[in-house]
Chain A
Amino acid sequence: MYQVFRPFIDSLRDLLPIIVVIGFFQLFVLQQPIPDLGNLLVGVFMVVIGLTLFIRGLEMGLFPLGENMAYAFARKGSALWLFAFAFALGFGTTIAEPALIAVAAKAAEIAANAAFIDKSEEAMDSYAFGLRLTVALSVGVAIVVGVMRIIRGWPIQYLIIGGYLGVVVMTMFAPKEIIGIAYDSGGVTTSTITVPLVTALGVGLASSIKGRNPMTDGFGLIAFASLTPMIFVMGYGMLI
């Protein structure tokens, strides 16, 4: 019996900090009752079920799938196809990302207010779409570079620190209004489904290539995917 409920208890424990924080601030700091307690409990119940299912599905579906792709490409031995896959994965998962669509629309609004572009629906839409395309391209490129790094075994810090220097330099030249959006865009590109898949791919690649260590070389793809959008978005803000 305990075995059945164990995952649910784990999920409830994962959620406990949020409940404690919200309860504490609501009751003791703001000194107000919890509105609609019934609804809150239903919500918490659903979150617990959802988290439990997600973790189960992760271990059954996403992890094995990512690893199998990595092994299959390693066996095939064609780096070109692997790069094509890496690019498609990065580009494809980003272009339709809802968080990115929201950020792009916000950025278009800011650009229109700052008079970089016309304040018409059309100009704003095309600006937002261009931005999404730019970010998706940058994530595609990021995953390709990340996969190349795993194959070659380059130390990650030189690439990432180099990228940061790029961010710092771009910050000096980019329009002030775009900087906050650009910095935030790095965080929105990696969705909850992409992260496990890309992580499994990286770790799988590193463990199937001789001389690579899955711990040292397998991680890092997400880091690239969060870095390049900042540079590309600032570049986009400067060009247009």
Chain B
Amino acid sequence: MTAFFIHLWQVMLGTILDVLPIVIIIFGFQGLVIRKPVPNMRKVLVGFTYVLLGLAFFLVGLEEALFPLGDLMAKQLTDPSFIYAGRSVPELIHWQDYKWVYLFAAAIGFATTVAEPALIAVAIKAQDVSGGTISVWGLRVAVAIGVGAGIALGTYRIVTGTPLHYYIIAGYVLVIIQTSYAPKNIIALAYDSGGVTTSTVTVPLVTALGLGLASTVPGRSVLIDGFGLIAFASLFPMLTVMGYAQLSRWRASRNNVHGDNKGG
């Protein structure tokens, strides 16, 4: 139990150190440049404390329980003795043998994104600003589907050993094409959602999966093939969020047509 509290304390200290530059910059500018007190100072401070405490609890909980298990599972699922249960490891690998890895990648990508605190923050703001056209859950699920699909494809890339930049460049081309068809007001949010998906929850588990895979698949190098899953996880949400907006627009216009018919 003491070890546990020491861990909690260390994480809390770490979080405070992370926040320190932000606090200095904000209050420095507030005091020296804006020269006006922060409105509701007490409430803001209490809120800051909640954020710090909340993050510390969140991280310790993840590190104590979920990460070790996720890590272990990533190792077991990519272990040749699981993949080739009983059979010998073939000279030429078939990508189909890794089907559970792709499924795990998609599922864990989706699940960790739903719990990502930074994404919740952006989704709350987006719902406020859009007046409810974009819902907190709609956006989060759209992003999570993107991350799941991205990471599944990323693991497929590691298994087959195809160069990372082909996929990323093709993905960018898709983003460019979709940008010209998506509703204008979603574009900035869609681009943002690429960056927010990859923080506290997703990165550690996904990195473990990538490195585990690259070190067990014959012929892959950890250095060249182990990285890049995060890049997939940042690229695909842009596509799915724009897709979500296109779907909402299409549904709204269909409802309008129905409404008009009833009216007429």
Contacts and interface: CB of A to CB of B under 8 A. Distances in A.
A65 B74 CA distance: 40
Which one of B20, B59, B225, B227 has the greatest number of beta carbons of chain A within 10 Å?
Answer: B227
B208 interface: no
Contacts of B130: 215
Interface of B: 14, 17-22, 24-26, 29-30, 33-34, 36, 38-40, 43-62, 64-66, 69-70, 73, 76-77, 82, 100, 104, 107-108, 110-112, 114-115, 117-118, 120-122, 124-126, 129-130, 144, 164-165, 168-169, 172, 175-176, 179, 184-185, 187-189, 191-192, 194-201, 203, 223-231, 233-234
B64 A76 contact: no
A54 B58 contact: yes
A219 B47 contact: no
A66 B24 CA distance: 14
A126 B124 CA distance: 41
Contact of B55 (A50, A56, A213): A50
Given A54-B58, A97-B18, A188-B230, A225 B195 contact: yes
Given A59-B47, A199-B122, A218 B18 contact: no
Given A110-B223, A192-B117, A46 B57 contact: yes
Interface SS majority for chain B: helix
A61 B47 CA distance: 4
A235 to B, nearest CB: 16
Interface in A139-170: 155-157, 160-161, 164, 167-168
B50 A30 contact: no
**A interface bracket (residues with beta carbon within 8 Å of B):** 35 or more
Contact of A43 (B66, B126, B188, B195): B66
A223 B191 contact: yes
B181 to A, nearest CB: 12
Contacts of B115: 14-15, 17-18, 47, 51
Contact of B189 (A167, A171, A215): A215
Given A40-B65, A61-B43, A226 B194 contact: yes
B185 A216 contact: yes
A25 B100 CA distance: 9
Interface string A59-95: 1111111001100110010000100010011001101
